[in-house]
Structure 1
């Protein structure tokens, strides 16, 4: 297990470095390493590259790659955790209307409110929308006295439909040019990444991910059902609500900076379980690493499929994820 985690960590680092060099303007790997070393340790290497290439590497691609790794890890961790506490193999980060709430907030900022807080306006509104959607789901569940995982999921699905309809209404009545920008954001992408934005998703990932890693025993117990978990001393209902709140924070912060990216949270935990089994002591950390690698690689492909334009990342992850999932299902059926 430690060797596997170390190997995936090395693969993630290599994929991130490779991704910085790939794009409409190819940058040699030695230049990528040189720019990174120069920025982290000024004067450690001789500057033999142009200012333009340095800007591409450090100001455009590097923050984009770091954000992709953070978002991929966050979505995969959330998907794995939700699949445990809901005992639903189709659970993913969008299950509780979190992504719909984030999309609603972003649409409000892009079309109607304007950039009132500068460059951070869209992420701020998206994050507020995600938290608002989560609070609404929990309020409805409490009002309906929903106690089971299935009832909470139904509340989330209902809220998701309502918020999605409200967001579509905002697009319909808004300015067509601004609506085009909002639709592109809803399809997902990392093109708006900036160094100044990265502390927020990274801090949330470290805090939320670390807490989830400490709960692997409880997550294993929750896969057996509420009665079994309670018999093992775990307050199933309260634990599930806490997991939902933590997952909402992780998803909301990720979606706020990347838009709505499909299939990562659903697909990655299943792929990991296919190879290492269902023990969350392995599933959770490996899901985070594989999710980060997958999204960085997918974004690298999105930058090269339709140069000089970027293909929306949500479209690409949906295509790749759907095909990969069908292949896995076929292999499982034949084994």
Structure 2
């Protein structure tokens, strides 16, 4: 049957839902392109980073070595007699560790910003990194060896979990957790943890102090396959679990009351998100030390590129975090000859000014802090 309505009336009668379908498709297509571009950039940077260093291995030979290990001879294997050994014993473990830690930090930042409803939030707000620092510094100073060579990572991981539970427990009243209270409790616990770390530095000898300072600045130096095997299942499980929260995080962005009316159990969601964030951050911090600003900068940049929808934001933040840490590690290994710069220092040099810009941008858009 032919419509007798004018075209203008037909367009009006179509309704906002039908008119928004092309817009949603366009946004999804753009998000796919951005994530695909980030993934390609990550692969390229991984090949470049693995081959860079005192013993240079071209990217084609790096890829050829990987394909050879997969049972695909290709004629591009490393020509240097020590090339394959350098790649598989030193650089690939470090590269994979950086990918895992960066992905975990990026997703953790996106989740924390979704939970707090604030783009200025980051994983350190709930004291994960500070708690891990206390555990690691205590082991370094007192020389505990309850877990052998894994004692420092184990202590850092356990203290990160304990600190987060303390913050959440103190902020919870009457079966509910207020975001403002959670942030303030996190600030207080971070201050106490900082004081404990300072006291441990005072107690330690010169060697312990140097180790503590380097650990607090973050580094992937010395990463081994044994450590990668510990971090991999924790990070992968955390990434998958956080992605399942994407829809509920989108609903939470409408406000707590609206989310509850739509069937979201806000407290359960918040607790689950905090636990998963702690898992991701603690797994990385335990082996790589404290690496600041990745969880703040990366999710915000990805959000500006593809929008706030968490089903795209979370994988984009994972890839973006891995890319940032891969580039930072490349600079740390190659910027100064025969030296390994702390990654946390490099990320702070970039993240600090970015945070300042983001702070002023947020203030100007909201018309002040009142």
Moved more, 274-283 or 98-107: 274-283
Q: List per-residue Cα deviations over 1:142-200 (Å, max 9, x = no partner).
A: 46976211111211221111122112211111112111111101100101211111122
Match of 1:221 in 2: 251
Shift of 1:266: 0.5
Match of 1:274 in 2: 304
Q: How far apart, in 2, do the equivalents of 1:203 and 1:13 lie? A: 21
Q: How far apart, in 2, do the equivalents of 1:96 and 1:51 lie? A: 48
For the 8 Å contact 2:97–2:220, the answer to whether it is kept is: yes
SS at match of 1:192: coil
**Pairing of 1:25-40 with structure 2 (within 5 A):** 25-40=55-70
Q: List per-residue Cα deviations over 1:213-271 (Å, max 9, x = no partner).
A: 11111111212221111111111122111111111111100111110001000111111
Larger radius of gyration: 2
Q: 2:139 aligns with which of 64, 89, 109?
A: 109
Q: Say if 1:160 and 1:331 are closer, same or farther in 2 by CA, change over 3 A.
A: closer
Match of 1:72 in 2: 102
Q: Cα RMSD over matched residues?
A: 2.3
Match of 1:180 in 2: 210
**Pairing of 1:311-330 with structure 2 (within 5 A):** 311-325=341-355
Match of 1:11 in 2: 41
Shift of 1:327: 6.2
SS at match of 1:196: helix
Match of 2:339 in 1: 309
Q: How far apart, in 1, do the equivalents of 2:320 and 2:175 lie? A: 37
Q: Does 1:242 align with 2:272?
A: yes
Q: Say if 1:46 and 1:215 are closer, same or farther in 2 by CA, change over 3 A.
A: closer
Q: How far apart, in 2, do the equivalents of 1:145 and 1:4 lie? A: 40
For the 8 Å contact 1:22–1:300, the answer to whether it is kept is: yes
Q: List per-residue Cα deviations over 1:98-127 (Å, max 9, x = no partner).
A: 101111111122221344433322211111
Q: How far apart, in 2, do the equivalents of 1:162 and 1:325 lie? A: 24
Q: Across the two proteins, how many residue pairs are aligned to each other?
A: 334
Q: How far apart, in 1, do the equivalents of 2:283 and 2:177 lie? A: 27
The answer for unaligned runs of 5 or more in structure 1 is: none
SS at match of 1:197: helix
The answer for unaligned runs of 5 or more in structure 2 is: 1-30, 366-370
Q: List per-residue Cα deviations over 1:42-93 (Å, max 9, x = no partner).
A: 8765866345332221111111111111111111101111111111222111
Q: How far apart, in 1, do the equivalents of 2:233 and 2:311 lie? A: 22
Shift of 1:38: 3.6
Instruction: Report the TM-score, using the length of structure 2 for normalisation.
Output: 0.83
For the 8 Å contact 1:267–1:321, the answer to whether it is kept is: yes
For the 8 Å contact 1:271–1:328, the answer to whether it is kept is: no
SS at match of 2:57: coil
For the 8 Å contact 1:220–1:280, the answer to whether it is kept is: yes
Q: How far apart, in 1, do the equivalents of 2:44 and 2:53 lie? A: 16
Shift of 1:7: 2.9
Q: How far apart, in 1, do the equivalents of 2:174 and 2:188 lie? A: 13
Q: How far apart, in 1, do the equivalents of 2:148 and 2:296 lie? A: 33
Q: How far apart, in 2, do the equivalents of 1:141 and 1:231 lie? A: 24
Q: How far apart, in 1, do the equivalents of 2:218 and 2:265 lie? A: 36
Moved more, 110-119 or 199-208: 110-119
